[in-house]
Amino acid sequence: MAFFYVFFVLLSVTCLFAFWRGGGPERAVAVLFSIAWLASLATSAPFPERYHGVAYHTLAIDVLLLICLLAVSRRANRAWPVVATSLQALIVLAHLARMLSAHEIAFVYMVMTTIWPFLQLFIVIAGTAFHWRRTAIHGAEPSWTHFLHSAVPPPPEPPANS
């Protein structure tokens, strides 16, 4: 139960810091983590039974979170979302490993699906702090890349008639 309270406090601090000093990617990921945590709370089994089998509801939430983090990573003008997305992929792989290997120890499954989110929150805090520092030194910076515009070359100019 202490794990729950520690995570709640860390998530709250992360979200407050991201909304106070973060840019678009920091805020977007903070919102995504909050939604995923609330969805997990709403669908989680009692603790003694939680890790005996694959938590399919949590797997679905984690896959949706992975897809959203991939979208943020693709558009963000930052490097840290890639690390947070990679950790989310490890969480999804832990679910898949549990599905493929039913004899996997429940403790290992629990550690794999509960430790990485803590690291993700620390990554968001670090990313927010770095963003805050960069903007204090260099001024405002774009939060998002415009990859759709840069991927399409401009149309050729018509030949000049003389």
* Cα distances (angstroms) measured from residue 9 to each of 3, 47, 88, 123, 141: 10, 19, 20, 16, 30
Q: What is the pLDDT of residues 99-143, one digit of tens each?
A: 888 776 777 888 888 889 999 999 999 999 999 999 999 888 888
Q: Which residues pair with 144 in a beta bridge?
A: 76
Query: pTM of the entire structure?
Result: 0.83
> What is the rounded distance in angstroms from the CA atom of residue 96 to the CA atom of residue 90?
10
Is the pLDDT at 9 greater than 70, yes or no?
yes
Average pLDDT value for residue range 140-158: 69
Is the pLDDT at 97 greater than 60, yes or no?
yes
Q: What pLDDT shows up at residue 56?
A: 86
First to last CA, the chain: 80
The residues spanned by each domain of the chain are 7-138
Average pLDDT value for residue range 47-68: 84
